[in-house]
Amino acid sequence: MLGYAAGMSSSVVQSGDGARFRVPAVERTVLVLDALAGARDGLTFAELATRVPIARSSLHDLCSSLEAAGLVEKRRSGRYALGLKVVELARRRLDSTELVTAFREVFREIGAPRETIVLAVRSGADVVYLSYIDGNRPLAVKYEVGMRLPAAFTASGRAILATLPPASVIHLLPDTLANPNADGQVTAREDLLAELEVTRQRGYSIDDEETAAGMTCIGAPVVLGAGQEAVGAVAVSLVKSTQDWFDEETRDYVRQVAASIARRMGSA
């Protein structure tokens, strides 16, 4: 529930930090954008109205305002979708992100990678991909900026989770984890914790066909200081049928890239 009364221009919500104000119009806007972001082919107004619990007249006015601002577009079919302004804002946000800047600078210095490499950050129980550089080999997964995958089943996600205290991982994840990318493969949280401990000790993570069949990944966390949670992670994606897909050279390469990013961000 949004926690505001109908007809109010703003509301006060009590929290442990004291009173704070919310603006219902902003919260309604977020609901609309979230609904459209989850619809690959857009939504009709009727479909959008079932997902956003406000009066249809108010929703229509809101959509018209968002369309005028470029945040929403109405296609010829009459379906609503996210507007190009959202893409523009997202690109500006990423371009101003220190982590993405450091990632790009590293590869301007060392040259393009042989294999596809991705940069990701944790968002709750998932990882979100902020940048990537394609290698020469075709992969089962086509990475995209903004792509979201379960942290527990990706090399980048495991690399980040391994820098968290076990208690934090327990709080974050359920007892059993179903992998939507591997026909619902189920992993016990305790097994994941054991894997994260191994990852923590060796300094890199492995995804063995858990993101996609025939594809493996090796990841390493970007850590700015001892004992801190990683600010992100990099992972190299490899075709498993390649002879000797895992070797010390690849492992060391991933770790060196992560360390180079951290140094550029001011890590000692």
Structure tokens at 172: 């974050």
By the 10 Å C-beta count (0-12 exposed, 13-18 middle, 19+ buried), 254 is classed as buried
**Secondary structure element (H or E) that encloses residue 50, with its range:** helix 45-51
User: What is the residue extent of each domain of the chain?
Assistant: 17-83, 97-264
Residue 210 has pLDDT above 80, yes or no: yes
- As a whole number, mean pLDDT of residues 35-61 equals 92
Q: Residue 88's pLDDT band (boundaries 50, 70, 90)?
A: confident
pLDDT at 185: 77
Domain 97-264: top CATH class: alpha beta
pLDDT tens string 123-182: 999 999 999 998 877 775 778 888 889 999 999 999 999 999 999 999 999 999 888 876
Q: What is the pTM of this model?
A: 0.70
pLDDT at 79: 94
pLDDT tens string 90-102: 766 665 588 999 9
Yes or no: domain 17-83 corresponds to CATH 3.40.50.2300? no
137: CB partners within 8 A, 6+ apart: 115, 116, 238, 239, 242
- In this predicted model, which residue has the larger pLDDT, 248 or 3? 248
34: CB partners within 8 A, 6+ apart: none
pLDDT at 28: 92
Q: Residue 112's pLDDT band (boundaries 50, 70, 90)?
A: confident
pLDDT above 70: percentage of residues in the chain? 87
pLDDT at 231: 93
Residues counted in the chain: 268
